[in-house]
């Protein structure tokens, strides 16, 4: 992974807590624990307080699925991707803190590479 890719990943990781809060709020409004992945990505894209691209929205949700497997998961149902929150009753801020602590511990173990992007 190049230095720029590592920095981009770290930037996305830093955005996870507000995204988790946004996702948790969305599911609270729905009163459900599962929704189409596309609908969630669309909601985050339209609701994000900063202007982010659809690609960045997709990357954030994908990173959330990758780094928070105890909090959420992706399901394939009838050929369609769904996003499922595993514990709606869990404190989202505590869950975000746990995810970041796990990820930062892993990231600290990796050396930053330098070189051409």
**What is the residue whose two structure tokens read 């996702």?**
23
pTM of the predicted model, to two decimals?
0.80
Confirm whether 115 is domain-assigned. Answer: no
Domain at 88, CATH number: 1.10.10.1420
Confirm whether 58 is domain-assigned. Answer: yes
Confirm whether 103 is domain-assigned. Answer: yes
CA distance linking residue 41 with residue 4, whole number of Å: 25
Confirm whether 116 is domain-assigned. Answer: no
Confirm whether 33 is domain-assigned. Answer: yes
Tens place of pLDDT per residue across the chain (117 aa)? 788 887 888 888 888 888 998 999 999 999 999 999 999 999 999 998 888 899 999 999 999 999 888 889 999 999 999 999 987 666 777 888 888 888 778 777 877 665 544
């Amino acid at each position: 992974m190049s230095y720029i890719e590592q920095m981009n990943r770290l930037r996305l990781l830093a955005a996870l807590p507000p995204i988790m809060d946004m996702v948790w709020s969305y599911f609270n409004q729905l009163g459900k624990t599962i929704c189409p992945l596309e609908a969630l990505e669309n909601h985050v894209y339209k609701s994000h307080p900063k202007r982010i691209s659809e690609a960045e929205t997709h990357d954030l949700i994908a990173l959330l699925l990758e780094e928070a497997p105890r909090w959420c998961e992706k399901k394939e149902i009838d050929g369609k991707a769904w996003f499922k929150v595993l514990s709606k009753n869990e404190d989202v801020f505590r869950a975000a803190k746990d995810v970041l602590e796990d990820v930062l511990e892993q990231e600290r173990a990796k050396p930053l590479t330098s070189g051409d992007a």
